[in-house]
Chain A
Amino acid sequence: MRNPLSDIITEIKPSGIRKFFDIVSEMEDAISLGVGEPDFDTPWHIRDEGIYSLEKGRTFYTSNAGLKELKVEIANYLYRTQKISYDAGKEVIVTVGGSEAIDIALRAMVNPGEEVLIPQPSYVSYEPCAILAGGVPVIIELKEENEFRLTAQELRDAITDKTKILILPFPNNPTGAIMEKEDLEAIAEVIREKDIFVLSDEIYAELTYKGKHVSIASLPGMQERTVLINGFSKAYAMTGWRLGYACAPERIMEQMLKIHQFAIMCAPTTSQYAAVEALRNGDEDVVMMREAYNQRRRFLMHSFQEIGLKCFEPYGAFYVFPCIKEFGMTSDEFANRLLQEEKVAVVPGTAFGDCGEGFLRISYAYSLENLKIALDKINAFITRLRNQK
């Protein structure tokens, strides 16, 4: 039989997180700190709106780009929070999670051989999506001493004649790093000068614990070169609804819409109705959840300090990214032994890029009670390791 497969996909490695997931799933009583989604249920008024839309028989496709009222609410939200004006009719698209938005943005913008700059450690899908779009991923390794922020110099060093677009994933999964306004201004200058574009993945925007999130699209001259991606999963605890969105200049959006139209048709209708409610009446829920995450974040940072585990202070998302280099093990070994010996699951930093070696991603999308139990076990584990030395 002929090879039924495409070379391009077979050459892409499966997600490193998958392998670990299989091991953890085998272990029934493991305490997991490995989850990349909120522990809160979607607020009831939002769920109720979804149910209500089903009761009313809103079970049909929406227009390709999404429900008009949702696009208007998205545009309002971005104006309210970032002072960016998007035309809800021409510059906003509702997608199946932020993930789809990443995919279609890259496919709409990258020509074969053009380079896509991907700062790492970062979310697992940028690199494969860039490859599938025909692009050449170029990794920028972020440094712990910069608190895993992207510096203008790092960006400058990575740009070549073939560079087309920079992926800007902040607040960051897995490091929890954020980019503040001054950081973004320095980056924006290089982007304008070198005439490249930005895919700004701001899915964790609402989970910022130091000032307010700033979008690069709000900086002078940047809206025209930015595809802004956000969604409902993290801010409103709506991961399973699969709903995100992208905002971009009309010229880019027209092409993204074509891919979306042919590949997806439209995002789930029920989810879209629920999302309208989220944007109209969900601000208080966001504040409540952000405050809860922030308390857990402080608790973890304090605990790390007490047990002497090195970790820069992250101000975004719901992850901390402690350094485990002192133990002389790879992230994979450390995570595996922690799982076997203490039944605590964390994700090795290497699942998010080679430069995640020596780090772990610990999620605090768990109750404080849960985190306390897990931290006691981690403490026991590293105390044992230190004594063995």
Chain B
Amino acid sequence: MREQILSIIEKSSRIEVKELAVILGVEEIDIANELKAMEEEGIICGYHTMIDWEKTSIEKVTALIEVRITPQRGQGFDRIAERIYKYSEVNSVYLISGGYDLLVTLEGKSLKDVSSFVSDRLSTLDGVLSTATHFILKKYKDHGTILTKKYEDTREKVTP
């Protein structure tokens, strides 16, 4: 049941417990218990809203930053990752296999905002060898949702 609950709320976190119970054919109390348990176990870490900021008048810039670092004895990459993720501007930090070590996504008000964060804060951290910053120009699809097109029902209205 967990997998089913998660796959539904991953897409629509606002769904009510009552409705979840109806569409999964189980009791409300069971859903409520599972949700609570998964929150406590840290499986469910939050209920976010997907926003296409592009469509608002609020200026926002998102960047993906590749960071190469020197792992530290006894702590590997974790200590530097922690120093980075503590900044509130930082959206996500992933440890990556391949040509670099950390992938950091960052949100700022402007290009200048982001670049000064990178040059002043990130690249000056002990252990950071280099950074490469990529600015996002357009989001086509995010979290499995296509942002550039709306679903349109093009079927004939009545068919046998």
Contact = CB atoms under 8 A, between A and B. Distances in A.
Interface string B138-160: 00000000000000010111111
A211 to B, nearest CB: 15
B25 A36 contact: no
Contact of A35 (B19, B25, B158): B158
Nearest to A16: B160
B23 A35 contact: no
A302 interface: yes
B97 interface: no
A299 B157 contact: no
Interface string B42-53: 000000000000
Contacts of B9: none
Interface string B3-36: 0100010000000000100111100000000000
A347 interface: yes
Contact of B25 (A32, A39, A124, A298): A298
A24 B23 contact: no
A21 B157 contact: yes
A24 B157 contact: yes
A298 B157 contact: no
Interface string A269-295: 000000000000000000000010001
Nearest to A240: B155
A35 B155 CA distance: 8
A17 B160 contact: yes
A34 B158 contact: yes
Given A291-B4, A295-B24, A124 B153 contact: no
A20 interface: yes
Contacts of A381: none
A345 B157 contact: yes
Contact of B158 (A17, A296, A299, A368): A17
B158 A37 contact: no
A21 B160 CA distance: 10
A123 interface: yes
Given A35-B155, A291-B4, A299 B160 contact: no
A24 B157 CA distance: 7
A125 to B, nearest CB: 8
Interface in A74-131: 123-125
A295 B23 contact: yes
A21 B22 contact: no
A152 interface: no
A35 B160 CA distance: 7
A34 B22 contact: no
A99 to B, nearest CB: 10
A146 interface: no
Given A35-B155, A298-B22, A351 B160 contact: yes
Contact of B23 (A20, A39, A123, A298): A298
Given A32-B157, A347-B158, 17 more contacts: A15-B160, A17-B158, A17-B160, A21-B158, A34-B158, A35-B156, A36-B159, A37-B155, A125-B160, A291-B4, A295-B24, A298-B23, A298-B24, A298-B25, A299-B19, A345-B157, A351-B160
29 contacts: A15-B160, A17-B159, A17-B160, A21-B156, A24-B157, A24-B158, A25-B158, A32-B157, A32-B158, A34-B157, A34-B158, A35-B155, A35-B156, A35-B157, A35-B158, A36-B159, A36-B160, A123-B160, A124-B160, A125-B160, A291-B4, A295-B8, A295-B24, A298-B22, A299-B19, A299-B22, A345-B158, A347-B158, A351-B160
